[in-house]
Amino acid sequence: MSPKTLYDKIWDAHLAHEADDGTCLLYIDRHLVHEVTSPQAFEGLRMTGRTVRAPDKTIAVPDHNVPTTLDRANAATMTEDSRIQVEALDKNAKDFGIHYYPVSDVRQGIVHIVGPEQGWTLPGMTVVCGDSHTATHGAFGALAHGIGTSEVEHVLATQTLIQKKSKNMKVEITGKLRPGVTAKDITMSVIGVTGTAGGTGYVIEYCGEAIRDLSMEGRMTVCNMAIEGGARAGLIAPDEKTFEYCMGRPHAPKGAQWEAAMDWWKTLYSDDDAAWDEVITIKGEDIAPVVTWGTSPEDVLPITANIPSASDFKGGKVEAAQRSLDYMGLTAGTPLADVEIDTVFIGSCTNGRIEDLRAAAAILKGKKKKDGIRAMVVPGSGLVRAQAEEEGLSDIFIEAGFEWRLAGCSMCLAMNPDQLSAGERCAATSNRNFEGRQGRGGRTHLMSPAMAAAAAITGKLTDVREMM
């Protein structure tokens, strides 16, 4: 048999049909659904009298529009548009008989945090969701694609997806990370190297010692941002950590089924002599704690750097850099560590898991946020919130002056009441920083949870290593 990459193996195992022009039909193991990209898809089924083909493999949860304040059970906390979308999901989940975690359920949260947490996401699966950050699930060695609303309807109706095969890219992070450097710094640094278009046409497999050393939470952070680098999906080969994370989860296989699954999961790695269309290697020791200065995730620099000038760039990027600097209200040459912030947001599907909250709490313990800073921690799910409370992390956040919220996408994007106002500058642990992402005129600097916590204390972008 010819050698295969992990992507090739999962692809081949799910290929239902291949047409002469290379268009393929893939079988889908898990379909995750949220309230933003599903209403028209369910409407499409209704209009044509179709049902959901595999309700047992279809899992829905509202996340983008839900308020995160304690009074959110009161519908008046939502805008009209949000309420319509959430109520539509409530109704569609009931009418079509799919798995559902409503706002009132402690298991509710961001779809990409709930899937793995409940054991829906497992190695070797194909996972889709009408959401670009479905890439997150690749951390389990699952082929996880974001899809559009018409594809959501197609998967609901047929449990298959029309796809063309992508190329294989290997991104290897060798050796160890230095202290203060996290999964978020890895994934942002990779985009700093490849650019936001570098992954276009590829599925990326992340590997190397620094990736192996990451927890499952960290691996999810890395794969989460594969899409920000333009890739179709991100993948990490499953290993003992993956199996241990999955074992005993509510929807993971049990007993003999677990053993059978393990037989397949253990074959899920890229063969030694597999062919790669592109290989990128980064030394773990070369990665620093990074922040973004501009309005694209590729605008990444170590926290010790200065704000660049437009003339540092070439071609079309010159104008883009100037526009970014103007929008961000930044002056070239200023040290990044001198940039003052107004707001801190710790959360999102990139960094809203328990380990992220632990990392932020470790920096904040016994300290207070700077006066005048608005700071919030938004756990990625109700279960993350409960665990953080049990571990005493919520007390650390509250004593430091943070708001301790309920689960949702929150300030990651401006679709719910948690938003920046014009000109407000935010240290954010999310994954996108384009103009208006967190609210019209809002300015976003992306970074790790530990870096965001450090910024809350000083009121500026801060090198977390000075606080360790």
- Binding-site positions for [4Fe-4S] cluster: 349, 409, 412
- Answer with the entry of ligand SF4, ligand IPM, none that 37 interacts with (C-beta below 5 to 8 A by kind): ligand IPM
CB of 72 to ligand SF4, least distance (A): 16
- Answer with the entry of ligand IPM, ligand SF4, none that 110 interacts with (C-beta below 5 to 8 A by kind): ligand SF4
Which residue's CB is nearer to ligand IPM, number 407 or number 413? 413
- Position with the least CB separation from ligand IPM: 132
Stretch that binds ligand IPM, among 8-16, 126-134, 205-213, 319-327 (CB under 6 A): 126-134
CB of 243 to ligand IPM, least distance (A): 29
CA distance 113 to 117: 6
Q: Does 149 bind ligand IPM (CB under 6 A)?
A: no
CB of 465 to ligand SF4, least distance (A): 27
Stretch that binds ligand SF4, among 23-31, 284-292, 394-402, 408-416 (CB under 6 A): 408-416
Q: Does 353 bind ligand SF4 (CB under 6 A)?
A: no
CA distance 396 to 346: 14
Q: Does 413 bind ligand SF4 (CB under 6 A)?
A: yes
Q: Which residues have CB under 8 Å from 63's CB, separation 6+? A: 34, 35, 108, 109, 110, 111, 407, 408, 409
Q: Does 430 bind ligand SF4 (CB under 6 A)?
A: yes
Q: Does 349 bind ligand SF4 (CB under 6 A)?
A: yes
Q: Does 133 bind ligand IPM (CB under 6 A)?
A: yes
Which residue's CB is nearer to ligand SF4, number 246 or number 412? 412
Q: Does 226 bind ligand SF4 (CB under 6 A)?
A: no
Q: What is the dihedral of CA 458, 462, 464, 467, to 10 degrees?
A: -40
CB of 153 to ligand IPM, least distance (A): 15
Residue 214 Cα distances to 37, 143, 270, 451, angstroms:
32, 19, 19, 18
- Of 59, 60, 78, 110, which lies in the binding site for ligand SF4, with binding defined by CB under 6 A? 110
CA distance 83 to 72: 11
Q: Is residue 147 exposed (0-12), middle (13-18) or buried (19+ Cβ within 10 Å)? A: buried
- Of 29, 35, 117, 131, which lies in the binding site for ligand IPM, with binding defined by CB under 6 A? 131
Stretch that binds ligand IPM, among 99-107, 127-135, 193-201, 202-210 (CB under 6 A): 127-135
Which residue's CB is nearer to ligand SF4, number 113 or number 282? 113
Q: Is residue 460 exposed (0-12), middle (13-18) or buried (19+ Cβ within 10 Å)? A: middle
Q: Which parts of 317-336 interact with ligand IPM (CB under 6 A)? A: none
Q: Does 407 bind ligand SF4 (CB under 6 A)?
A: no
Q: Which parts of 127-156 interact with ligand SF4 (CB under 6 A)? A: 131, 133
Which residue's CB is nearer to ligand IPM, number 437 or number 445? 437
CB of 380 to ligand SF4, least distance (A): 8
CA distance 33 to 146: 11
Q: Half-sphere exposure (CA, 13 Å, Cβ side) for 49?
A: 0
Q: Does 64 bind ligand IPM (CB under 6 A)?
A: yes
CB of 62 to ligand IPM, least distance (A): 12
Instruction: Write out the binding residues.
Output: 349, 409, 412
Which residue's CB is nearer to ligand IPM, number 6 or number 32? 32
Site map (CB under 6 A) of ligand IPM, residues 8-37, x = contact: ----------------------------xx
- Of 10, 28, 287, 409, which lies in the binding site for ligand SF4, with binding defined by CB under 6 A? 409
CB of 165 to ligand IPM, least distance (A): 22
Stretch that binds ligand IPM, among 65-73, 131-139, 217-225, 383-391 (CB under 6 A): 131-139
Which of 228, 351, 209 is closest to 284 using CA atoms?
209
CA distance 300 to 288: 11
The site for ligand IPM (CB under 6 A) is made up of: 36-37, 64, 131-133, 146, 413
The site for ligand SF4 (CB under 6 A) is made up of: 63-64, 110, 112, 131, 133, 348-349, 409, 412-413, 430-431
